[in-house]
């Protein structure tokens, strides 16, 4: 997060609170509010304590509009969390076809992470979602 000239620096607690609020906006699909945070200097690929990015949380929770907006802002489509999970594998796990389609269209790698998106599709009986990708 960037501080503007003449403004005071944020305390570590204030920074954590801002991150928590912004992550909740991604998780719940409050796209316009999340974009306001980005417009005020919050990095699009910021991660929480578990390494989840805004894109990961939005994808996992099926927030297609938020996913598309984050991708338009340059979010890293393959940024994995601390458990080595990718956004597209999370979307496949949850059965979020429109989100899978958006991530693949943005260049998501189906063979990255643990498990990979392909492995997740196999494990959870969602191989039909891989057809969306091809």
Tell me the per-residue pLDDT of 110-124, one tens digit each, with 9 for 90 and over: 999 999 999 999 999
CA-closest candidate to residue 34, choices 20, 22, 17, 50: 22
Residue 1 has pLDDT above 60, yes or no: no
Q: Which domains does the chain have, with CATH numbers?
A: 12-133 (1.25.40.20)
Which tens digits make up the pLDDT trace of 20-64? Answer: 999 999 999 999 999 999 999 999 999 999 999 999 999 999 999
pLDDT at site 72: 98
- Residues β-bridged to residue 47: 53
SS3 sequence, 42-105?
A: CCCCCECCCCCEHHHHHHHCCCHHHHHHHHHCCCCCCCCCCCCCCHHHHHHHHCCHHHHHHHHH
Higher pLDDT, 8 or 32: 32
């Amino acid at each position: 997060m960037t501080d503007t000239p003449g403004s005071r620096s944020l305390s570590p607690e204030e920074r954590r609170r801002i991150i928590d609020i912004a992550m909740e906006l991604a998780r719940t699909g409050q796209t316009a509010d999340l974009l306001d945070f980005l417009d005020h200097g919050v990095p699009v690929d910021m991660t929480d304590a578990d390494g989840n990015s805004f894109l990961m949380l939005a994808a996992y929770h099926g927030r297609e509009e938020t996913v598309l907006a984050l991708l338009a802002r340059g979010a890293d489509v393959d940024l994995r969390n601390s458990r080595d999970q990718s956004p597209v594998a999370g979307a496949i796990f949850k059965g979020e076809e429109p989100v899978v389609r958006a991530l693949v269209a943005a260049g998501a790698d189906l063979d990255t992470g643990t498990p990979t998106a392909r492995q997740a599709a196999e494990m959870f009986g969602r191989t039909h979602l891989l057809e969306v990708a091809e």
